[in-house]
Amino acid sequence: MYEFNLTLDLPFEQALEKVREALMSEHLGIVSEVDVQAIFKAKMDKDIPPYRILGACNPQLADRVLAVEPNAGTLLPCNFVVRDTGDGKTVVSFMDPVAVLGLSESAEVRAVAEEARDKLQRVVASLGG
């Protein structure tokens, strides 16, 4: 499995703010944000419900990965998807860093992946999952 998810009984904007707060509580900063809804509208004139991809990163964990495997930056950051289901609920999905960083043969990279997964699981727990 490459991701974990949960459904929040919150409208999109409230859920997005709650996800931001939960990430920060685990020292995971948002280093990128992609507004897929806006991109689809601008590039294809296609309307979709709100959909954001948040790239979350803990610099200390990223440093440990890049120190032993510089090209592993292609596997970073940890991505979260926050998407409106259209019924007042929001799905939050996050990549499993163990599945992604498990592509590396480095024991240190795999250890970081386990630590990152623990952080992300605490984020999910704090969100109510």
For the domain covering 3-127, report its CATH number: 3.30.310.70
Q: What is the mean pLDDT of the chain?
A: 95
The DSSP 8-state label assigned to residue 104 in this structure reads S
- pLDDT per residue as tens digits for the range 76-86: 999 999 999 98
CA distance 100 to 73: 11
As given in the structure block, the two tokens for residue 15 are 């859920």
> What pLDDT score was predicted for residue 42?
98
**What percentage of the chain carries pLDDT values higher than 70?**
99
pLDDT at 129 over 90: no
Q: Torsions phi, psi of 46, nearest 5?
A: -110, 130
Cα separations in angstroms, 11 against 17, 43, 88, 89:
10, 26, 5, 5
